[in-house]
Amino acid sequence: MRVIFCGTAAFAVPSLRALAHHHDVVLVVTQQDRRAGRGRRTRMPPLKEAARDYGIPVAQPRSLRRESVVAELAGHAPEAIIVAAYGKIIPPAILALPPHGCLNVHASLLPRHRGASPVSAAILAGDRETGVTIMRMDEGLDTGPILSQRRLRLTGTETTADLTRTLADIGAELLVPTLADWAEARIDPQAQDDAKATYAPLLSKEDGAVQWSQDAAAICRLVRAMHPWPGAVTMWEDRQMKILAARAETCRGASPPGTVIERGKELAVAAGSGCVVLEEVQLAGKRATPGDAFLRGYGAIMGAVLGLPGMVS
């Protein structure tokens, strides 16, 4: 089958690789190269790198709504268009191009967690399971009919980074047989129940701010959900501290939320309920450090009240 693949992030790479072994991927459409990192070096999207490995032509249009872009895609005569972590809306003119439609690989069990950040949203919500949905796209935001799903039980220890990798592999495994069954009319699409829909908007840096008035379990979910980006952050005096790993504990006493409290050799902070043991932290401009080692090196933090980013404790 002639396929165009639209994607950008690393989540899309396993699906592209799976398709390339079973179908004729005639074009990869991805976002433009961007400057990133301290050196502001230009970096290509992960999917572009994967496409080059397979010798697949790559297009990086600024907008999919231009007539010239629609004409270019139409010229490849795709029988299906696959979308995974592309990061842009697919306009109606492109949705209508292929006879088998546009299929999306989405990292949640739709209609739960529609939107740009479904993996982080599942962790933040404390979901006991998540998974991957393959749907036929329509003009709505992840509202199209479901073609297939695969569920994954969560342990409550996953970060967005490792859960995204797991779901990417699941999506790739599910995509190839789903596309084949869809092309042979062996799938009866199931409409989503909009009444059960939840939304996972694009994350911003502000989403990583730790609210110490929350209960300890919720704060630890935030730490896992914001890893690797934007990171869970707090302030100690005038310095930003990123929390890389943490666990919730039941702690005695009634210290105000955000107070660094005594708990043996561990770096612990009082929360709205319970306390959070900081297992790995990173001060701005410094290397990541285990919590106990940080406490030995920065003993003055004991008794301090940690604050929101942008505030001095």
The reply to whether 176 and 258 lie within a common domain is no
CA 158 to chain CA centroid, Å, is 12
The reply to whether 153 and 181 lie within a common domain is yes
Structural domain total, the chain: 2
Task: Find the CATH number of the domain harbouring 71.
Answer: 3.40.50.170
When pLDDT is averaged across residues 209-217 and rounded to a whole number, the result is 97
Tell me which residue has tokens 């069954």.
181
When pLDDT is averaged across residues 103-127 and rounded to a whole number, the result is 98
User: Residue 99: which domain range?
Assistant: 2-196
The reply to whether 173 and 246 lie within a common domain is no
Output the pLDDT for position 313: 40
State the chain's mean pLDDT as an integer: 95
**Model confidence pLDDT, tens digit, residues 31-77:** 999 877 666 788 999 999 999 999 999 999 999 999 999 999 999 99
Instruction: Let me know: does 106 contact 126? Beta carbons within 8 Å.
Output: no
Domain end, chosen from 177, 196, 215, is at: 196
Does 99 have pLDDT greater than 70?
yes
Residue 310 pLDDT level (bands cut at 50, 70, 90): low
**Model confidence pLDDT, tens digit, residues 137-167:** 999 999 999 999 999 999 999 999 999 999 9
Residue 100 pLDDT level (bands cut at 50, 70, 90): very high
Task: Find the CATH number of the domain harbouring 218.
Answer: 3.10.25.10
Residue 253 pLDDT level (bands cut at 50, 70, 90): confident
Tell me which residue has tokens 């285990």.
290
Does 235 have pLDDT greater than 60?
yes
The reply to whether 192 and 292 lie within a common domain is no
pTM equals 0.95
Residue 215 pLDDT level (bands cut at 50, 70, 90): very high
The reply to whether 183 and 266 lie within a common domain is no
Does 252 have pLDDT greater than 80?
no
Range 55-62 contact pairs with CB under 8 angstroms and sequence separation of 24 or more: 56/5, 56/20, 56/25, 56/26, 56/27, 56/28, 57/26, 57/27, 57/28, 58/27, 58/28, 58/29, 58/30, 59/27, 59/28, 59/29, 59/30, 60/29, 60/30, 60/31, 60/32, 60/33, 61/29, 62/32
The reply to whether 167 and 40 lie within a common domain is yes
Q: CA–CA separation, 14 vs 142, rounded Å?
A: 21
The reply to whether 148 and 15 lie within a common domain is yes
Radius of gyration, CA atoms only, the chain: 22
Domain end, chosen from 173, 196, 219, is at: 196
